[in-house]
Amino acid sequence: MAYEEVNLDDMKWDLELEAFTYECPCGDLFQITMDELEDGEEIANCPSCSLIVLVEYGDEELMRAKVRSLTGEGGPDDSMPPAGAKAIAT
């Protein structure tokens, strides 16, 4: 049974780990790689404890995740526009 369900957009890209991460209650990070996501994997494991999270994503989230992993943008705390937001020319 999963500890929690997490949307992929709420996970951070960790350039050093080359994985999307989400904070685990034990203090470590749940991790799932881009390759795992592309293979349809939905479970992110914590390397320090037995907890897992179910990662929810569809085609749009997967596409945004690919961009984040290629550009090095971390995620929700890195000033990314909300899903579906449109850029406004200034």
Residue 2 pLDDT grade (very low, low, confident, very high; cuts 50, 70, 90): confident
Beta carbons of 54 and 4 less than 8 angstroms apart: yes
Beta carbons of 2 and 30 less than 8 angstroms apart: no
Cα 57 to Cα 7, 12, 28, 50, 60: the distances in Å are: 6, 14, 22, 22, 8
Residue 67 pLDDT grade (very low, low, confident, very high; cuts 50, 70, 90): very high
pLDDT of residue 73: 77
Burial of 20 (0-12, 13-18, 19+ CB in 10 A): buried
pLDDT in tens, 17-58: 999 999 999 999 999 999 999 999 999 999 999 999 999 999
Delineate the domains of the chain, giving CATH numbers in brackets.
Answer: 4-71 (3.10.660.10)
